[in-house]
Amino acid sequence: MITEQDVVESQRELKKAGPSGLKGFLTQKLNEWRTTPLNIAVTGQAGCGKSTVINTMRGLTAEDEGAPAIGIIETSMECRPYHHPDNSGFTLWDLPGMGSLNFPKETYLQKVEFEKYDFLLILTRSRFTENDLWLAKEVRARGKRFFLIRTRIDEDLANDKEDHLGTHNEARVLEQVRRDSLSNLQDNYHPYKVFLISGKMKYETRWDLPELNKKLVEHISGLKQHAMVFSLRANSKDVIEEKYVKLWKRIYITAAASAAVATIPTPELYIVADMALLTAEVNMYLSQLNLNTTSLETLSRVYGIPSQHMSRTSTIVQAQNFNGVQSNLQTLLQDMAVNEALEEADKFVPVIGSVVASSVSYSTTLLVLRRILDEIKRASLQVFDMATKLSKTYPD
């Protein structure tokens, strides 16, 4: 997230406005992704599960405030935006299905303002239609990305298991559904990948949803990629790793911004740190990696298990202790400065000049945030494994 131009601008801000100006610039860099618009359109015929998919991608259930209505009849008669609860710049658009009286094929792209979307998700409950193929071709011709998504795969598997108690084979059913969903399309020149998902949060770690999320990240770059990674749920090891890498890169900027202004010194060690900034950053780690209180309560509700069971392992408990962030941070800063930071300080390459980077405060904060992020990542992977195990059952 820090470029050579950023370094030049940081040094200019330091000369122009002193440490407070530098801190303001670095804080702005940390939050740039929040002001980067990212728009994903979701379209499909009634009953295909658009609202459920939109809810899951935003980390909401149907009962949560701000969740779109779920039903088997067409509930979207206009293009409705649904913002991410933690990032208003990330918007999922529920588009009306194409071919209705109000949204005929001939004027569909114009009426839904197609050009503003970064991606288009084309959903179906059964087979894709010739209208879907036409839409996919038009999207591709305009240089945009689209994804074909077959929803409610959990129901198909549950039905097959009920009908074939002795011969049910998940891999066979998935291949059959994937092939059948494309049976109406006649386009031998361009192969299509169909993503099989449930749509429900309970199954967000299963089938092709993790791969879909990975593709959404791969096919976008710059600040939009940061916005995508930080807006997706930590529902696969790939996404967890992407979040970890981008959070790790933020540490250099956060440590520099914290050390730029002496707000809370530790008298014995002359360590200075902006505790409010560091507390917010650690809370971001917890939120991004599904370990804050809200995320664990949601998982507990979705899987129907007591919330205390989501925090059984020692790693998760230790990570959750960071919810009492400020006092824990001060203790860690003091301990790290005594044991490690002083001898490690010379190993770090300055991010924005020697004034901040050479300070013990900067190197100490760097080490502390790294240790905390590593601990939270380990706990997040345990929660992911727990969710994956719990999701490997079909509804009765």
pLDDT, one tens digit per residue, over 172-221 is 999 888 888 887 666 544 567 889 999 998 898 889 999 999 999 999 98
User: Quick check: is 169 in a domain?
Assistant: yes
Residues 365 and 316 in one domain: yes
Cβ-count burial of 358 within 10 angstroms (0-12 exposed, 13-18 middle, 19+ buried)? middle
Whether residue 396 lies inside any domain: the answer is no
* Structure tokens belonging to residue 116: 């503003």
User: What is the β-pairing status of strands 38-44 and 119-124?
Assistant: parallel
Q: For the chain, give the percent of residues with pLDDT over 90.
A: 21
Residue with tokens 């230790």: 318
363 in Cβ contact with 244 (< 8 Å): no
Query: Residue 221 gets which letter from DSSP?
Result: -
Query: What element of type H or E holds 93?
Result: strand 87-94
Contact (Cβ atoms closer than 8 angstroms) between residue 341 and residue 363: yes
**Structural domain boundaries, residue 75:** 37-231
Query: Mean pLDDT for the chain?
Result: 78
Query: 220 and 241: one domain?
Result: no
Q: Where does the pLDDT of residue 264 fall: very low under 50, low under 70, confident under 90, or very high at 90 and above? A: very low
Q: Is residue 267 exposed (0-12), middle (13-18) or buried (19+ Cβ within 10 Å)?
A: exposed
Q: Which two tokens stand for residue 387?
A: 């969710």
Residue 268: predicted pLDDT: 46
Is the pLDDT at 334 greater than 60, yes or no?
Answer: no
The yes-or-no verdict on residue 291 having pLDDT over 50 is yes
Is 50 exceeded by the pLDDT of residue 160? Answer: yes
Based on the domain organization, do 187 and 326 belong to the same domain? no
Which of 233, 216, 192 minimizes the C-alpha distance to 117? 216
What is the pLDDT, as a whole number, of residue 396?
Answer: 44
> Both 63 and 185 in a single domain?
yes
Looking at the fold, whether 253 and 306 belong to one and the same domain comes out as: yes
Q: Of 48, 46, 38, 86, give the one whose Cα is nearest residue 66.
A: 86
Q: What is the CATH number of the domain that holds 166?
A: 3.40.50.300
Question: Which of 199-203, 240-244, 323-327, 347-351 is the most confident on average?
Answer: 240-244
Within 13 Å of residue 24, how many CA atoms lie on the same side as its CB? 9
Phi, psi (degrees; rounded to nearest 5) at 273: -155, 145
Which residue type does 2 have?
Answer: I
Inside any domain, residue 199: yes
Among 215, 231, 247, give the residue marking a domain's end.
231
Report the pLDDT value the prediction gives residue 82, as an integer from 0 to 100: 93
Name the percent of the chain in helix, strand, coil, to the closest 5.
60, 10, 30
| Weakest mean pLDDT among 197-206, 242-251, 286-295, 381-390 | 381-390
C-alpha distance from residue 208 to each of 147, 198, 292, 396 (Å): 12, 9, 26, 22
Residues 73-127 have pLDDT tens digits of 555 578 899 999 888 899 999 998 887 777 888 888 988 898 999 999 999 888 8
CB distance 320 to 291 below 8 Å: yes
- Say whether both 18 and 165 belong to one domain: no
pLDDT higher than threshold 80 for residue 53: yes
Distance CA(378)–CA(384), nearest Å, equals 10
Q: Which residues fall within 8 angstroms of residue 259, CB to CB, at 6 or more apart?
A: 272, 273, 356, 359, 361, 362, 365
Domain count of the chain? 2
Residues 181 and 238 in one domain: no
Among 231, 259, 283, which residue terminates a domain?
231
Tell whether the model's pLDDT for residue 229 goes beyond 90. Answer: yes
Burial 196-205 (b: 16+ CB within 10 A, else e): bbbbbbbbbb
133-144 average pLDDT score: 86
Give residue 230's pLDDT band: very low, low, confident or very high (50, 70, 90).
very high
Within a domain: 288? yes
In a domain, 378, yes or no: yes
Lowest mean pLDDT: which of 26-30, 238-242, 372-376?
26-30
199 and 288 assigned to the same domain? no
Tell me if 23 is assigned to some domain. yes
Q: Do both 245 and 353 map to the same domain?
A: yes
- Give CA–CA dist 337/250, Å, rounded: 21
pLDDT in the model for residue 213:
93
Q: How much is the average pLDDT of 275-291?
A: 87
Tell which of 204, 231, 258 closes a domain: 231
In order of 159, 206, 381, the CA distances from 388 in angstroms are 21, 7, 10
Give yes or no: residues 79 and 196 share one domain.
yes
Q: Are 271 and 19 in contact (CB under 8 A)?
A: no
Same domain as 8, residue 98: no
Taking the alpha carbons at both ends of the chain, their separation in whole angstroms is 47
pLDDT score recorded for residue 208: 92
Position 171 in a domain: yes
Helix (H, G, I), strand (E, B) or coil at 41: strand
Do both 79 and 9 map to the same domain?
Answer: no
Is 266 within a domain?
Answer: yes
